[in-house]
Structure 1
Amino acid sequence: MPGPLRPLLRAVTYTRWLHLLVGAVVPLGCGLIHPGLADPGPAGWALVALLPVPLLAAVAMVPSVRRAEGLQARLMLFPGAHARVRAPHGGPVGTRGRTGEREGVRPGDPAGDGLAGVAGDPGVSAVPSASWTDRARTAAWLVLRAEAGLAAVFLSVWLPQVALTLAGTAVEDPIAGAPLPSAAGGPAAAALAPLPVLVLVAVAVTGGELMAAAARRLLGPSVKERLAALEERTERLLERNRIARELHDSLGHALTLAVVQAGAARAAGDPEFTDRALEAIEETGRAALEDLERVLLLLRETGGPPGSRPGLAEADRLLDSARSSGARVGAEVTGPLERVPGPVSREAYRMLQEGLTNVLRHAGQVPVDVRVAVEDARLRLEIRNPLTAGAATGTGPGTGSGLRGVRERAALLGGSARAGRDGDTWVLRVDLPLH
């Protein structure tokens, strides 16, 4: 299909034209009930266009009118599943055709960007007016829709009449009410008969696109709505990052211990040592399964209790697991751990878990010194281990996402985390405020 005729195959062309025509209902209704406009001429039609303006401005003051107009615009100017299906986070859901382009939205169209980058959002708000600015924009939209609809009705009636006149058919002028003179040009005039129809098609396509652009500007989200959507999106991203950190720390720790302990048991060839290693693997795996089930409950949004997360009071479990894998772990705890708030204690537990996991993964069975101190309204955590050849040269496995997660956890709590080489040792230091 040639490019100029392609809009004729798109449903959005006809829904947008219908949206334009429906906008003429109010001015035409005012013209029908106004005395003296039973058979209007050009001046009468101008009066029909002006009559509904005060009424529309008054109606726009009702907050719910903006929501109704936004829903109509979504349904008819941007047809698709996004106009009627709500996503779990409250934003509309978009649909894409076989070419990957949502119907009614061209590549690069601002409608594809949507509200705060939400895919499928046409950029038209569907909430009641929350300010006088919203009411003023709604009034401008209602007036524009009425005037554009009246022009669309006029062209939809008048241009076909002109085409029939050029074809030599006697018709009546829809504006003046008098018969239009038939074309006297014969075949030449008849050859021009399709021209008004093509003009009507072009006006329908262009008018629909202009109304869609006007809808985004006049019915688009206000600054307050954009900020609310941005905050919601930020909260979702933070929650996703938190869940990713939980899975990485818990499952990564469990798998690392299982691999290290299984290798140590096979190398030792001692049945007693193998039994202890299998017991440690079983305990670590059970704890990882509990963490996995808790995270899956959050992802499924079942509404059930998320379960308890371990804190520093259960840090002995981490130390024992590391010791059972062959590492020589020494721990020093100073200060009252009971003074550590729950969120700080739980995040510090995960940081300790990630630190021990990194030692076992990159350095192997080496001496590890762990220091936990609660002093001066701060919690300080330090994990120190000697560097091995692989750890010193950076050839150990891993992508660095674990330490990045530690830094993110510390930053969210208002603290800091640093990891790096200190002579012949590798040190992870975490400093967190208790309040």
Structure 2
Amino acid sequence: MRGGLVVVATAFGVLVGAAGKAEAAGAADGPAAYRMASGATAVQGAGNSADRGPELKAGASTYTDSIKPKETKYYTVELDAQSSAYVSAVAVPKAGSAMGLRDGIDVSLQAPDGTQCGTVRHRSFLSVGGAYPVADYAERVVKPGAACGAPGSYRFVVERGDALGGDASAVPIELKYVAEPPQRTESTDTLSAPGAWSSQAPSKPPQGTAEGVTGGTGFNDAAELRSGTWRDELRPGDTRFYRVSVDAGEQLFADAEFGGADKGLPMVIGGVRLGLNNAARGFVMNKTTGYQGKPATVSLATPPAAYGGGAGGGGEVVRGMRFAGWYYLQVSLSPKVRQGARGAGVPVTLRVDVAGARKADQGVGRSQGSGGHPGGEGGVGGELVASAGTGPRKEWLRTIGYVGIGTGATLLLGLGVWTLLARRRDG
């Protein structure tokens, strides 16, 4: 099999029924609440580092808890000496609520001796212009000379910020632990061409008639999207989730076009948002723009997805694209946007394209093989990821209910230069 060891983790409750879709549509009196994973285990984190705290097991299990302002909670995760670990927390304030300026969550991982493993990840409830679900993970990536490489009982720490000026209620949190088995040492296929990679889409955004879709309320009931044009409708305070399959060596391009609403609305800074998290619920990027009832578009473009941490460097976006698998788009409309007298929602058109990575100096068009894969369907990472797609290019990859989070072909792409290009484009 090309690309090394196949690793799959049970997907995050992706098979949902019609009832979930109806709930995601939202009630007339307000936005829909985040849908926790079916069968999640309720736990209560320890209140101090001296206590062991409940154990979070890797794999299919999902856990729920809640956290108050200025509270810190501790959980136990067992790590071996070979596997990388990603432990995530999703914090879910009440949809449409107002949060404090310093409110949010920090997530981190500590070794048995208290050593900090990597950086503390901070996600602010107000960083996206409203009270929306926020998610990120703490990680222990196994590599030579890295800290926290010893096996043992580690502590996963979730800390909430100051709710001053906002909702001081306890916030539900959803917890998940994904382990990535060790890399194989055998040679693998790679995209070996040097240089920067383009942050420009390989072609014009998908056109044509938009297909109707109702986004999910969270990671567990996210609606599946293929490359193409999709149409949804959001009410103020809504966040809709969608999942897109991105294979190793592919880039994701997405536009969220918000339609017009009532005339004369006040400008809402950060009124519309397009966010992205990876297969382990790690933060990748967040894009916002103001909204005043006039059409507005928010766009994102990613580096190529890779296994094992990407090209060994780069910024937060590059590190966030370390997996092949499901990537989760989130589209939000701020609760500060004033709803029309008829209570109608704001139409949103999503244009999604997944394409094989291209060099920065490459012309428009997918010139690296059929279907957008470098080298065609047999290209890098083709056998390593369970795919969401239903079209001919994706059908051969399908593994219902699973998502690839594993080792394999590392892309030696010079992604630090890509990051500079992307920032220039966003600016």
* Same fold, judged at TM 0.5 (above): no
Structure number with the bigger relative contact order (C-alpha 8 A, sep ≥ 6) is 2
TM bucket, shorter chain: under 0.3
- Structure with the bigger percentage of helix: 1
Given the two structures, how large is their TM-score scaled by the length of structure 2? 0.20
Larger radius of gyration: 1
